[in-house]
Amino acid sequence: MEIVKTDVAIIGAGGAGLRAAIALAETDPKLTIALISKVYPMRSHTCAAEGGAAGVIKPDDSMDLHFGDTVGGGDWLCDQDAVEYFINEAPKELIQLEHWGCPWSREPDGSVAVRPFGGMKIKRTWFAADKSGFHILHTLFQTSLQFPSIRRFDEYLATDLLVDEGRCHGLTAIEMRSGQMRRFQAKAVIIAAGGAGRIFPFTTNGAIKTGDGMALAYRAGVPLKDMEFVQYHPTGLPNTGILLTEGCRGEGGILVNKHGYRYLQDYGMGPETPVGKPVLKTMELGPRDRLSQAFWHEQQKGNTVSTTWGDCVLLDMRHLGEKKINERLPFVRDLSISYLGVDPVKDPVPIRPVVHYMMGGIHTDINAATPLPGLYAAGECACVSINGANRLGSNSLTELLVFGRRAAMSAIAYIQSGAPAAKEAALTVKADAAQGRIRALFQKSNGTESISGLRKEMTSTMEAGAGIYRTREGLADSCKKTGELRGRYAGIELHDKTNVYNTDLLAALELGSMLDCAEAVAVGALARTESRGAHQRLDFTARDDDKFLRHTLTYYHPKEPPRIEYLDVVITKSKPGVRDYSGGKK
C-alpha cells in the first residue's frame, strides 16, 4: 500500500476543511498538508447553504446579544465558553473572508450588509444574496489554490483512522479513480466531513452527507455528542426537500395555514406582526425548532394544505414584490419555479419542515480537540458545542470558519508539543486490516441484503420514530430497528467488483456510516426523557434541567447498541431560563 506522509491530514474539503487547510498553510508554510475529500472541494455541501453567516459588526449589535441569542436559541445546551469564543472570533473570520474576495451583499455606503434571521435579536447575518454558502465555499477553495503546501486528494474516500497507543496517526482512504487504498501517515488529523442528514428520507442534505466523518471517529472510540438533536428546517419544498432559506422570512415572507391564518401566533411566537414588516425574534423570525413544531401541531389540527406531496403550509412572499425577490432571493425564486412550478412573485409556495442539520457530532472541546490525542474535528460533523439543542440559522457557516481555523491551530500546537511519532509496524498492521475489510467486501457473494433496501428501511424508521415529535414507543422501535439493520448490514454484497470509480462500494461504505449515526441518534433520543430544543418528547413535554442539563455521549460498540454517558454543560454567565419569542410584547 502506498504511504503518503504528511504533517496534517484533513478529511473533508468543505468550509471547515478548507478553512483549516488555509490556516495551516498561512501559519507555517513548511507544514505539509493533505486535504482529502470524497468529492472535489467545490461539490461539498457548504455550497447549498443559502441565508448567510452571523457575526457582530454593526454598531447597534453587541457580543452579549449574539451570545444571548445563541445560548437561548440552543435551549441552554450550548457550552457557554465555546459560544463566547465563537462570537468573539466570528467578525474576524467574516472580515477575513471579505478580504479573500467573498462577494458579500453591500449597503449603499459600501459596507457589508446584514439581514435579519430567525431567533436573532439584531440583524447580524452577513449574506451574499441567497447563495452565501456557495460563495463562502468557492472563496475558500479559490483562496486555497495559492498555497502550494496544500496537497489535495480529491475523490478519496476515508475508510479508517489509524490509531496506535492512544493517538491518531493518520488514516486509510480509497482513491476512487483507481480503487487503490492509500495510507496517510499524519502527525495530526482533522475531520471536517459534514453532517449525516441522509439518515432521514426527507432532507435538504446532498447525497454526500452520510456521516462518514462522524462514523470514522466513533468507531475509533471517540464519543458522538448530542446526536439526538436533529434540526428540521421549517421551509423545504415538499417534493424534493430543497431548502428555501430563512432569508425568505428575514426579508418579510409570512407563513399561513390553509385558512390564510398566520398560525405562529398560536404557538408562543405572537402576537401577529404587520405583513412585510418582520419584527426580530418573533412570529416568522422565531427559531427553527419552534416553527417546525408549530407545523406539526397545525397538521394535527387539520389546518395544513393537502398537496400531492403531503401536508404543507404556505410561505407567502408576494408582498415583497418582484424587484426585492430578484435582488435578495433570486435562487429561491429559481428553485421554486423550476422544481415546484410555483413563482413566489405570483403565488404562495407550499412548504413543509425538512431535516436540515445535526446539532450533534464528534465530541470536541473548545479547542476543536477530540478526546483522542492527535484528532480534531470541526464543522457540522463536530459538536463543540455552540448549537446546543437547536442551532440558530446563520451560526453554522460562521462555525465552519471559526472552528476550522481553531482545529488547525490546535493541530499545530499538538505537533509542536512533540507528540510521539507513529510506530510504522503497528500502523502497517492497522492499515492492512482496513484493506482486508474492503477486500472481504469484494470477495463476498451470496449476499442476502441490498444496499438501497437497507437504506430505505433506515430512513423510514428514523422518520417514524425520531422526527419532530418523539415518543418512547417510537424511539424504542427505531433503536431496535437500527440495531437490527446494523446486524443485517453484514449480509450485503457488492454487485460491482471492479476498481475504477466504484459507486457500489461507495454506497456500501456510506450506508455503514449512516447506520452507526442513525443508531446513535435513536439511542440518545430514547434516553433523553425531557423536551429541549429540537428534541421534543410527547411523553416528557418539559425541559428537565436537573437531569438533562447535560450532553449525551454515545460510545460505539461493534455489535451492541452504544453505551451512553453524560457530561455537564458548561455554564458561565447565562442560567437556564425561558425562551421568549414574543418579541418583547405581552
Partner 1 sequence: MSERQIQLEVLRYNPETDSEPHFQTYSVPCLNEWVVLDALNYVKDNLDPTVAYRWSCHMAVCGSCGMMVNGEPKLACKAFIREYSDNIRVEPLVHFPIERDLVTVADDFMEKLTRIKPFIIPKEQRPVSAGEYKQSPAELLTYKQYTLCINCMLCYAACPEYGSQPEFIGPAAITLAHRYNQDSRDGGRDQRQEVIATHEGVWICSFVGACSEVCPKHVDPASALQQVKVASTVDWYKEHLMPWGKK
Please say which residue, 285 or 305, places its beta carbon nearer to partner 1: 305
Beta bridge partner(s), residue 303 = none
Nearest to 301 by CA among 271, 261, 269, 273: 261
Q: What are phi and psi of 309, to 5 degrees?
A: -105, 20
Residue 112 binds partner 1 (CB under 8 A): yes
Residue 235 binds partner 1 (CB under 8 A): no
Q: State which of residues 26, 457, 477, 504 lies at the interface with partner 1 (CB under 8 A).
A: 504
Residue 451 binds partner 1 (CB under 8 A): yes
Nearest to 398 by CA among 412, 387, 409: 387
Residue 154 binds partner 1 (CB under 8 A): yes
Q: State which of residues 63, 166, 177, 443 lies at the interface with partner 1 (CB under 8 A).
A: 177
Q: Is residue 323 classed as helix, strand or coil in its secondary structure?
A: helix
Report, in Å, the least distance between residue 508 CB and partner 1.
Answer: 9
Report, in Å, the least distance between residue 213 CB and partner 1.
Answer: 15
Report, in Å, the least distance between residue 295 CB and partner 1.
Answer: 21
Please say which residue, 148 or 418, places its beta carbon nearer to partner 1: 148
Written as one letter, the residue type at 152 is R
CA–CA distances in Å: residue 95 to residues 101, 410, 514: 10, 22, 36
Residue 471 binds partner 1 (CB under 8 A): no
**Count of residues interacting with partner 1 (CB under 8 A):** 62
Residue 312 binds partner 1 (CB under 8 A): no
Q: State which of residues 101, 166, 302, 584 lies at the interface with partner 1 (CB under 8 A).
A: 101
What is the helix (H) or strand (E) element at residue 334, kind and residue range?
A: helix 330-335
The Cα 553–Cα 393 span in angstroms is: 24
Report, in Å, the least distance between residue 157 CB and partner 1.
Answer: 13
Please say which residue, 27 or 111, places its beta carbon nearer to partner 1: 111
In which residue are the cell numbers 482486508 written?
436
CA–CA distances in Å: residue 339 to residues 50, 214, 235, 239, 322: 17, 31, 14, 8, 19
Q: State which of residues 5, 32, 42, 409 lies at the interface with partner 1 (CB under 8 A).
A: 42
Residue 507 binds partner 1 (CB under 8 A): yes
Please say which residue, 15 or 483, places its beta carbon nearer to partner 1: 15
Residue 103 binds partner 1 (CB under 8 A): yes
Nearest to 1 by CA among 432, 385, 476: 432
Report, in Å, the least distance between residue 575 CB and partner 1.
Answer: 34
Residue 445 binds partner 1 (CB under 8 A): no
Please say which residue, 335 or 523, places its beta carbon nearer to partner 1: 335
Q: What are phi and psi of 496, to 5 degrees?
A: -110, 115
The Cα 152–Cα 83 span in angstroms is: 32
Please say which residue, 110 or 418, places its beta carbon nearer to partner 1: 110
Residue 92 binds partner 1 (CB under 8 A): yes
Of 130-138, 411-419, 430-438, 565-573, the segment contacting partner 1 by CB under 8 A is 130-138
Residue 512 contacts residue 188 (beta carbons within 8 Å): no
Q: What is the DSSP string of 120-172?
A: -SS--EE-STT-HHHHHHHHHHHHHTT-TTEEEEETEEEEEEEEETTEEEEEE
Residue 506 contacts residue 176 (beta carbons within 8 Å): yes
Q: Which residues bind partner 1 (CB under 8 A)?
A: 39-40, 42-45, 47-48, 57, 92, 95-96, 98-101, 103-112, 131, 134-135, 138, 142-143, 145-146, 154, 177, 206-208, 239-240, 242-243, 308, 331, 335, 338-339, 341, 450-452, 495-496, 498-504, 507
